[in-house]
């Protein structure tokens, strides 16, 4: 099974537990923002001025964890369980808000439902992240500051790396874009997307999706693959 994330991490562990052989073909790497992290450092040095710190990826969690540890009064929100898990391990405290569905829209909806008064929110995200969370929170009346936590650099793996794989799992739309920029519409027999947004991006690039996870999480992604393989036998 092909995993395209920068680090195999939780997804690879879940697949290995179920007996799969994982082939790691990273399509992106994480680098310092174009300003060397100046804007992020400035925002984090003033973290006490915010009510919430929101992160949208495991890499973002790693970048903000030290500051979040030093400011225990600031509440934490994360897009999905994987991002929350990294933040919790690094800070030693639970995340206050993390929707089970690992989508920006789900986090924004959960935040708006929970916050009864305007909140001061710092969002730390990738340079290529969609503005979904910030836009939804601002629309709901919250004061939002967005800062680039890291820069996403595309990699170009050897096309031969995909030749022996039975399936590829996409946990984000950016992973699909990275895949298609290297491999076009060539793919293993089974292509599984974590949710409809990721699948829509695949369709836009002409990549055929075999299954979409009903539960838009890493567990849901693995379950969708297992069901697909079972049905194909």
CA 187/CA 183 separation, integer angstroms: 7
Higher pLDDT, 214 or 7: 214
Going by pLDDT thresholds of 50, 70 and 90, the confidence category of residue 68 is: very high
- Ranges 48-52, 67-71, 222-226: which has the least confidence: 222-226
Classify strands 28-31 and 143-154 as parallel, antiparallel or unpaired: antiparallel
CA 95/CA 38 separation, integer angstroms: 25
User: Where does the chain hold its CATH 3.40.50.10090 domain(s)?
Assistant: 2-27+155-232, 31-153
The pLDDT tens digits for 143-200 are 999 999 999 888 888 777 788 889 999 988 878 988 998 889 999 999 999 888 889 9
Going by pLDDT thresholds of 50, 70 and 90, the confidence category of residue 226 is: very high
- CATH fit for domain 2-27+155-232, picks 3.30.56.10, 3.40.50.10090, 3.50.50.60, 3.40.190.10: 3.40.50.10090
- CATH fit for domain 31-153, picks 3.30.70.360, 3.40.1260.10, 3.40.50.10090, 3.40.190.10: 3.40.50.10090
CA 129/CA 152 separation, integer angstroms: 9
Contacts 24+ apart (CB under 8 A), 134-143: 136/105, 136/108, 136/109, 136/111, 136/112, 137/108, 137/111, 137/112, 140/111, 140/112, 140/115, 142/111, 142/115, 142/118, 143/118, 143/119
CA 55/CA 150 separation, integer angstroms: 12
Going by pLDDT thresholds of 50, 70 and 90, the confidence category of residue 8 is: low
Identify the bridge partners of residue 212 per DSSP, sorted by sequence position. Answer: 193
Q: What is the pTM of this model?
A: 0.79
Q: Report whether pLDDT(64) > 80.
A: yes
CA 163/CA 22 separation, integer angstroms: 13
CA 44/CA 66 separation, integer angstroms: 9
The pLDDT tens digits for 95-140 are 999 987 777 888 999 999 998 899 999 999 999 888 999 999 999 9
């Amino acid at each position: 099974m092909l995993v395209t994330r920068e680090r195999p991490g939780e997804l690879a562990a879940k697949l290995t537990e179920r007996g799969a052989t994982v082939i790691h073909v990273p399509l992106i790497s994480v680098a310092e923002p174009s300003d060397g992290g100046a804007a992020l450092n400035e925002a984090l040095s003033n973290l006490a001025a915010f009510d919430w710190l929101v992160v949208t990826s495991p890499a973002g969690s790693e970048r903000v964890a030290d500051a979040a540890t030093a400011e225990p009064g600031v509440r934490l929100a994360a897009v999905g369980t994987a991002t929350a898990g990294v933040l919790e391990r690094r800070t030693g405290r639970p995340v206050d808000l993390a929707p089970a569905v690992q989508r920006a829209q789900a986090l924004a909806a959960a935040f708006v439902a929970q916050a009864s008064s305007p909140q001061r929110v710092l969002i730390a995200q990738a340079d290529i992240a969609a503005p979904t969370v910030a836009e939804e929170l601002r629309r709901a009346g919250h004061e939002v500051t967005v800062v680039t936590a890291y820069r996403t650099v595309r990699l170009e793996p050897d096309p031969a790396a995909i030749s022996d794989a039975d399936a590829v799992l996409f946990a984000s739309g950016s992973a699909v874009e990275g895949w298609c920029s290297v491999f076009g519409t060539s793919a293993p027999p089974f292509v599984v997307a974590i949710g409809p947004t990721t699948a829509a991006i695949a369709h836009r690039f002409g990549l055929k999706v075999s299954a979409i996870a009903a539960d838009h999480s890493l567990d849901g992604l693995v379950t969708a693959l297992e069901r697909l393989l079972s049905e194909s036998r």
